[in-house]
Amino acid sequence: MKRLLLSCLVLVLTFSNLRADEGMWLPFLIKERIAHMQEKGFKLTAEDLYSINKASLKDAIVHFGGGCTAELISNQGLILTNHHCGFRQIQSHSSVEHDYLKDGFWAASQKEELPNPKLDVRFLVRMEDVTDKILDSYKESMTESQREKIVATNSAKVVSEATKGNHYEAKVESLYYGNQYFLFVYETFTDVRLVGAPPSSIGKFGGDTDNWMWPRHTGDFSLFRIYAGKDNKPAPYSKENVPYVPKKFFTISTKGVNEGDFTLVYGYPGRTQQYVHSEAVRYILEKSNPHKIKLRTLRLDVQRAEMAKSQEVRIKYASKNASVSNAWKKWQGESKGIIRLNTVDKKVTFEEEFNKWAQDKPNYNGLLRKISLLYSKLEPYSFAIEYYNEAIIANEIVKLARDVSYIVKRGSKMAPQVLAKNVKSMLENFYKDYYLPIDKKIFIAIVNEYDTNVPNDMKPPYFRELKEKLGSVDKIAEELYSKSLLADSNKVYRAIKDGISNSTFTKDPAFVFFNAFNDNNLKNIKPITDKIQRELALLYRTYMKGQMEFAKEHNFYPDANSTLRIAYGNVSGYKPADAIYYKHYSTIEGIMEKDNPGIYDYNIPQELRDVYANRDFGKWTQDGTVPVCFVATNHTSGGNSGSPIINADGELIGINFDRVWEGTMSDIDFDPEMCRNISLDIRYALFIIEKVAGATHLIEEMNISQ
């Protein structure tokens, strides 16, 4: 009896979401959750959210650029996402003469909308449980290698059947560590044009200081438009294309939000790992995050110092700096959350109870010991790979050598002149946003960290010999940046003017450096990590199945993997620390309190100051002010950026763009008391579009419910 009571206690502690808003649910299976959602206030049906027989809300949502989410808000293909999701496109169109990052961009007509050659959006056509099809002919007596071949063969067959005779794309995804398989069928559009974006002082208001924090006052939105052929089907960019007519688009509600209101997030969360072993979390907390944070701190310090000196450099490095900073700050909050929740010890306690339960079960007895042993073998190799990614490939000139090497290798059968043209196109894009002094200073800082922290037997012999020969990492940097063709655009263009041969870059220092590290990684490190990871994957498949048997009362949801999910909860403030309570919303007054012309990230446009001074808020007000952001209990992750926030009536009330810093451990351990997603109130976006941008023609496209 004591053992049973202890097991129940562990389950309550470990699976707290039985009483919370945790979960990223598959739309295909949302009917299993709809009763609970309706208890919380939702008024629609499962069929309204996901259907293949009629237009549903899934048809108003797109996977934006492979890493964010966006939503349709008009019958003319107009889509809404975050400013930071469209940042790369906004930056790519910016120059000193046309600084759209600083000044914003608003197309006065569809003819002025800007194309983005490397951007695509994709709609989910349907999803289907294909577990039986994927595991057809598999028997438990087979080896893992035999199983992998069957899964690969059957997956290819399922994808082929799903895309036969149509223009769709399809992919089979593994869920629950291979205990279930789903087919996802997509329709992809590649003609996506920039329509509007506020200045970064609105769209990125607060910059890195406010990132991941609450209260937030960031107008994190941008507008794009999907274009199609005249048959409304996907088509390459053409001036003849027309705005896409969607099956479904959102009605926008300006009724606002109140504490306790139902909210639903519909989007593409990137990656979570809720069910991992305690050793995986311990490694993240004690080793991985601290080292990655330090390496990125060094990079950010160099970038920020140089960006502060020059507007041109600031524009070039705006997107890069934001990208480096985002994970850097997230990792810090994640570590603090893991410590506060005592996640490692909770998992250890759960594992101890699982082991007791598994003693008389041959499939599970001894399973966790095997997993723990594999993690101890994996750790030094994972550490070396993370340093390879964060301290070697993170250097721009090394990454460029990698990218050029890959193009040359893939184009080995091309004519030398054609290959040179392809490489030059990529180089031009690189040098547009490159500043050598930043790259060189970062190289010295982070390669020194690599040299200090990575064991000698994990380093390439070339690197050890080069350092011994030259004496220091500083001297290596001097050699590389003074002699590599890649350090001087004019030199490399001259070198490839007449074509590229196999010997063009053979002796170039940047290529020699990259090849040495890449070869070491591919020959001495990655094969070992791959082998261990395959063994872990096999054990995790069994462990996941065991967890579901051990904790039968728990509603397990599959970890996020960039497939469409639904998360639901309620608008709610929270208490981050003793004697502090954060309200659920922020207002324009907070923007004016932070406004500081002397700080780039807080220097709002004069137009916004004027509108505020005149109290010219129009119809976007509540209680005499303009709401800006709000927080709710929805379970979100990276990839949910840009996701629509939907009210109980299925109307758009906001745009998800962040999580609170105290809750960033939610990818590993969800805390209902502290985990909050941060959303832009749709009324602030509309206020900016009308009152600051004067783009009323865009508002006229939308269906707005008062």
Q: Does residue 268 fall inside a structural domain?
A: yes
Give the mean model confidence (pLDDT) for residues 503-529: 95
Q: In this structure, what CATH number is given to the domain that contains residue 18?
A: 2.40.10.120
Contact 46, 650 (CB under 8 A): no
Q: Would you state the pLDDT for residue 108?
A: 97
If asked whether residues 527 and 582 sit together in one domain, one would say no
Q: Would you state the pLDDT for residue 20?
A: 63
Give the mean model confidence (pLDDT) for residues 242-256: 97
Instruction: Specify the number of domains making up the chain.
Output: 2
If asked whether residues 251 and 318 sit together in one domain, one would say no
If asked whether residues 522 and 582 sit together in one domain, one would say no
Q: Does residue 164 fall inside a structural domain?
A: no
Q: Would you state the pLDDT for residue 493?
A: 94
Give the mean model confidence (pLDDT) for residues 105-109: 98
Q: Would you state the pLDDT for residue 509?
A: 96
If asked whether residues 266 and 297 sit together in one domain, one would say no
Phi, psi of 507 (to 5 degrees): -100, 5
| DSSP secondary structure string for all residues of 336-381 | HHHHHHTHHHHHHHHHHHHHHHHTT-TTTTTHHHHHHHHHHHHHHH
For the record, the structure tokens of 667 come out as: 């990818």
Quick one: what percent of the chain has pLDDT higher than 70? 97
| DSSP secondary structure string for all residues of 270-300 | ----TT--HHHHHHIIIIIHHHHHHHHHHHH
If asked whether residues 580 and 681 sit together in one domain, one would say yes
Q: Report how far residue 414's alpha carbon sits from residue 427's, in angstroms, rounded to the nearest whole number.
A: 18
Quick one: what percent of the chain has pLDDT higher than 90? 89
Phi, psi of 193 (to 5 degrees): -115, 145
- The string of pLDDT tens digits covering residues 407-454 is 888 887 788 888 888 899 889 989 999 999 999 999 999 999 999 999
Q: Model confidence at 671, in pLDDT bands (50, 70, 90)?
A: very high
If asked whether residues 221 and 98 sit together in one domain, one would say yes
Q: Does residue 200 fall inside a structural domain?
A: yes
If asked whether residues 580 and 445 sit together in one domain, one would say no
Boundary residue ending a domain (498, 514, 549): 549
Q: Model confidence at 16, in pLDDT bands (50, 70, 90)?
A: very low
Q: Does residue 165 fall inside a structural domain?
A: no
Q: Would you state the pLDDT for residue 8?
A: 46
Give the structural domain span for 98: 2-120+190-272+566-574+576-705
Q: Does residue 254 fall inside a structural domain?
A: yes
- The string of pLDDT tens digits covering residues 227-247 is 999 999 999 999 999 999 999
Degrees, nearest 5: CA angle 39-42-47: 110
Q: Does residue 133 fall inside a structural domain?
A: no
Q: Does residue 470 fall inside a structural domain?
A: yes
For the cut 70, the answer to whether the pLDDT of residue 562 exceeds it is: yes
Q: Would you state the pLDDT for residue 1?
A: 38
If asked whether residues 287 and 224 sit together in one domain, one would say no
Q: Model confidence at 193, in pLDDT bands (50, 70, 90)?
A: very high
Place of tokens 């504490």: 259
Q: Report how far residue 534's alpha carbon sits from residue 549's, in angstroms, rounded to the nearest whole number.
A: 23
Sort strands 704-705 and 252-253 into parallel, antiparallel or unpaired. Answer: parallel
**pTM across the whole model:** 0.89
Q: Report how far residue 569's alpha carbon sits from residue 666's, in angstroms, rounded to the nearest whole number.
A: 15
- The string of pLDDT tens digits covering residues 465-511 is 999 999 999 999 999 999 999 999 999 999 998 888 878 898 999 99
Q: Report how far residue 258's alpha carbon sits from residue 236's, in angstroms, rounded to the nearest whole number.
A: 44
Q: Model confidence at 573, in pLDDT bands (50, 70, 90)?
A: very high
If asked whether residues 527 and 637 sit together in one domain, one would say no
If asked whether residues 511 and 637 sit together in one domain, one would say no
Give the mean model confidence (pLDDT) for residues 122-144: 95
If asked whether residues 234 and 370 sit together in one domain, one would say no
Q: Would you state the pLDDT for residue 409?
A: 86
Q: Report how far residue 510's alpha carbon sits from residue 479's, in angstroms, rounded to the nearest whole number.
A: 10
Q: Would you state the pLDDT for residue 9?
A: 45
Give the mean model confidence (pLDDT) for residues 178-183: 97
For the record, the structure tokens of 164 come out as: 């036969």
Q: Model confidence at 601, in pLDDT bands (50, 70, 90)?
A: confident
Which amino acid is residue 209, in one-letter code?
Answer: T
Q: Would you state the pLDDT for residue 17?
A: 43
Active site residues: 84, 220, 641
Contact 628, 642 (CB under 8 A): no
Who wins on pLDDT, 209 or 394?
A: 394
- The string of pLDDT tens digits covering residues 621-653 is 999 999 999 999 999 999 999 999 999 999 999
Mean pLDDT of the chain: 94
Q: Model confidence at 706, in pLDDT bands (50, 70, 90)?
A: confident
Q: Does residue 126 fall inside a structural domain?
A: no
In angstroms, what CA-CA distances link 487 with 181, 304, 318, 436, 471? 47, 21, 21, 7, 22
If asked whether residues 211 and 81 sit together in one domain, one would say yes
Burial (0-12, 13-18, 19+ Cβ within 10 Å), 287: middle
- Residue in 181, 167, 165 with CA at minimum distance from that of residue 128: 181
